[in-house]
Amino acid sequence: MITWSPISDEDAMGKLLGYLVQYKEAWTLESYYNTSLQATAVSAVIKGLKVLTLYKIQIAGFTSAGVGVQSRPQYAKTGTI
């Protein structure tokens, strides 16, 4: 499970519509997988990940104007079955 602090109204630069969670296997050239969540979300469970694999995860809020600045990348390694 990943968690984050909500974006303040001031930082959202408009009405926050939701969050975009992007993730991929770290250190690869593959594209990110994207998951959109409601504006009230402060956590997510990413399913279907490979075991014992390091992932790069970034989160950004979005408004009707588009996606905001992404968070700094966070790295997490999955466990065993």
pLDDT at 18: 97
Looking at the chain, the whole-number percentage of residues with pLDDT higher than 70 is 99
* 3-state per-residue secondary structure call for the chain: CEECCCCCHHHHCCCCCEEEEEEEECCCCCCCEEEEEECCCCEECCCCCCCCCEEEEEEEEEECCEECCCCCCEEEECCCC
* Predicted pLDDT at 81: 66
Nearest alpha-carbon partner for 60 in 29, 31, 36, 26: 36
The per-residue pLDDT for 17 is 97
CA 5 to chain centre: 12
pLDDT tens-place string over residues 27-48: 999 999 999 999 999 999 999 9
pLDDT at 9: 85
Please tell me the total count of domains within the chain: 1
**C-alpha distance from residue 34 to each of 21, 24, 46, 53, 55 (Å):** 6, 9, 10, 18, 13
Domain assignment of residue 17, given as a range: 2-77
Q: Which residues of the chain have pLDDT under 70?
A: 81
CATH number of the CATH domain containing 46: 2.60.40.10
